[in-house]
């Protein structure tokens, strides 16, 4: 009856044998499994990464600029909110976002609005919401909590960074370009290095001020070059992120994950640290969270999905294009605190 069943070595107590087999880690087998997990994550995430890069390239091509930037609201709360809403118009993950936010700042948009865009748009856009839904079709609350949490974090950061004067927050070269685009009336004579005195406030100054970067932007080749390089750059980060996620999944003893993942505060902190290290794009981070989702508290899951888009190791380099170290430090601390609070609150609600 039992045809060609593979043999278990010890016939004396088969149950015991199987038990031991189940507990022991067979290294080659486990490595094969990790390799498959890695490929699964990567293949799932790459299309979303590509979509994100394509859209960021498109936004670069049709690069925003001009006087309308200066008319964006400067209200301390309305500004960041309208900036966050821009995320729907310019959907890009956080890596595509930093250059766009820089362009906003250089173009003379209010700081609060640009910050709102910078911090909320990576989550508040259709691609990210679609990938979150694709990863967690069984957790509809996440579809609401993630964008909402991102807006809260962006708002908190925008309000926090207002405390620093522009000159201490933004990099000197960015400020210099920015002043060229601000109405002269709003810039004191001492701050000015160039500009034409006596121009009406609305004169479009964008073309000369944005410099070589923008005269190139219209060339499709430049967009192609930039887009391909961005894709390969981010694909490399994604590969590293997927590899780390697959190794953690395959090799971290499940008891550890369960012990850490079950503790409300500890799980949030652990997943925040993980999102800092993994540094993957917001358009694909939901897939990486999948592997842990079963073993962690819901607040920790949300914290992972909220913190990564705002700050991580990869973004430190990119945000360095905008902020001085002090601004960067404040961003990191503020984002960490805000995300921790939101995670705790979610745990109170969901657990």
Partner 1 sequence: MGRPLLLRAALWRALALALWAVVLLQSGLDGRLDLLLRSIFHPLVSAAGVVLLALAVLQVLVALQGGRGGGRAPAESRREQRRDTGLSLVTATIAVALIVRPPNPSFADLASQRPGDDTTSDTLSFVLPPAQRSLTDWVRLLRSQPDPQLYAGDPVRISGFVLPVPGEPPQLARLLVRCCLADATPVGLPVRWTAGQPLPKADQWLAIEGRMAVERSRGADRGGERVGHRGGDEGSEQLVVVPERIKPIPRPARPLEP
Give 305's Cβ-side CA count (13 Å radius).
38
Phi, psi of 266 (to 5 degrees): -60, -40
What single-letter DSSP state applies at residue 5? P
Phi, psi of 184 (to 5 degrees): -60, -30
Distance, in Å, from the CA atom of 33 to the CA atom of 250, rounded to the nearest integer, reads 7
Q: How far is the CB of 39 from partner 1 (least distance, A)?
A: 5
What single-letter DSSP state applies at residue 263? S
Smaller CB separation from partner 1, 45 or 59:
45
Q: Which of these ranges, 3-11, 66-74, 88-96, 183-191, lies near partner 1 under the rule CB under 8 A?
A: 3-11
Q: Which of these ranges, 30-38, 82-90, 200-208, 274-282, lies near partner 1 under the rule CB under 8 A?
A: 30-38
Q: How far is the CB of 284 from partner 1 (least distance, A)?
A: 11
Beta carbons within 8 Å of 88's beta carbon, 6+ residues apart = 124, 125, 126
Q: What track of x and - describes contact with partner 1 for positions 235 through 264 (by CB under 8 A)?
A: xx--x-----xx--xx---x----------
Q: How far is the CB of 53 from partner 1 (least distance, A)?
A: 10
How many chain residues touch partner 1 (CB under 8 A)? 69
Q: How far is the CB of 61 from partner 1 (least distance, A)?
A: 14
Q: How far is the CB of 211 from partner 1 (least distance, A)?
A: 11
Q: What track of x and - describes contact with partner 1 for positions 215 through 234 (by CB under 8 A)?
A: -x--x-xx-xx-xxx-xxx-
| Four-residue CA torsion sign, 220, 226, 229, 232 | negative
Considering only CA atoms, which of 291, 290, 302 is closest in space to residue 347? Answer: 302
How far lies 7's CA from each of 2, 11, 17, 24, in Å?
Answer: 11, 9, 11, 18
Q: What track of x and - describes contact with partner 1 for positions 35 through 64 (by CB under 8 A)?
A: xxx-xxxxxx-xx--xx--x----------
Q: How far is the CB of 18 from partner 1 (least distance, A)?
A: 5
Distance, in Å, from the CA atom of 214 to the CA atom of 206, rounded to the nearest integer, reads 10
Whether 120 contacts 80, CB under 8 Å: yes
290 touches partner 1 by CB under 8 A: yes
Distance, in Å, from the CA atom of 32 to the CA atom of 14, rounded to the nearest integer, reads 26
Smaller CB separation from partner 1, 95 or 250:
250
Q: What is the separation, in whole angstroms, between the first and last Cα of the chain?
A: 50
29 touches partner 1 by CB under 8 A: yes
Whether 216 contacts 248, CB under 8 Å: no
Beta carbons within 8 Å of 32's beta carbon, 6+ residues apart = none
Beta carbons within 8 Å of 127's beta carbon, 6+ residues apart = 48, 51, 52, 55, 91, 93, 283
Smaller CB separation from partner 1, 317 or 325:
317
Smaller CB separation from partner 1, 163 or 232:
232
Smaller CB separation from partner 1, 21 or 186:
21
Q: How far is the CB of 268 from partner 1 (least distance, A)?
A: 20
Residue 326 tokens read as: 């002090």
Q: Which of these ranges, 21-29, 61-69, 107-115, 185-193, lies near partner 1 under the rule CB under 8 A?
A: 21-29
Strand, coil or helix: what is 170? strand
14 touches partner 1 by CB under 8 A: yes
Smaller CB separation from partner 1, 4 or 197:
4
User: Would you tell me which residues interact with partner 1 (CB under 8 A)?
Assistant: 1-8, 11, 14-15, 17-19, 21-23, 26, 29-30, 32-33, 35-37, 39-44, 46-47, 50-51, 54, 134-138, 212, 216, 219, 221-222, 224-225, 227-229, 231-233, 235-236, 239, 245-246, 249-250, 254, 287-288, 290-291, 293-295
């Amino acid at each position: 009856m039992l045809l060609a069943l593979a043999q278990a070595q010890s016939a004396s107590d088969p149950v015991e044998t199987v038990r031991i087999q189940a507990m022991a880690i067979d290294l080659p087998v486990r490595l094969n499994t990790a390799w498959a997990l890695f490929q699964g994550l990567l293949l799932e995430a790459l299309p979303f990464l590509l979509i994100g890069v394509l859209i960021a390239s498109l936004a670069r091509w049709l690069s925003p600029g001009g006087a309308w930037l200066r008319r964006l609201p400067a209200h301390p709360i309305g500004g960041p909110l309208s900036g966050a809403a821009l995320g729907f118009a310019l959907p890009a993950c956080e890596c595509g976002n930093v250059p766009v936010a820089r362009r906003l700042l250089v173009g003379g948009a209010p700081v609060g609005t640009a910050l709102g865009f910078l911090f909320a748009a990576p989550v508040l856009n259709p691609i990210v919401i679609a990938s979150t839904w694709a990863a967690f079709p069984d957790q509809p609350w996440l579809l609401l909590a993630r964008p909402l949490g991102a807006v809260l974090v962006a708002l908190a950061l925008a309000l926090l960074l207002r405390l620093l004067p522009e000159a201490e927050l933004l990099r000197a070269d960015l400020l210099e370009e920015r002043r060229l685009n601000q109405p002269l009336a709003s810039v004191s004579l001492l701050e000015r290095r160039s500009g034409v005195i006596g121009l009406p406030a609305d004169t479009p100054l964008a073309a000369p001020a944005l410099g070589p970067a923008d005269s190139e932007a219209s060339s499709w080749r430049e967009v192609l070059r930039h887009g391909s390089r961005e894709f390969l750059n981010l694909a490399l980060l994604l590969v590293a992120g997927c590899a780390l996620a697959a190794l953690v999944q395959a090799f971290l003893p499940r008891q550890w994950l369960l012990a850490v993942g079950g503790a409300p505060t500890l799980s949030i902190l652990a997943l925040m640290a993980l999102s800092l290290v993994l540094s993957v794009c917001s358009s694909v981070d939901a897939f990486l969270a999948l592997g842990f989702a079963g073993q962690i508290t819901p607040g920790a899951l949300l914290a992972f999905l909220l913190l990564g888009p705002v700050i991580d190791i990869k973004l430190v380099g990119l945000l360095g294009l905008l902020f001085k170290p002090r601004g960067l430090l404040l961003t990191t601390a503020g984002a960490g605190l805000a995300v921790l609070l939101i995670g705790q609150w979610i745990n109170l609600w969901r657990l």
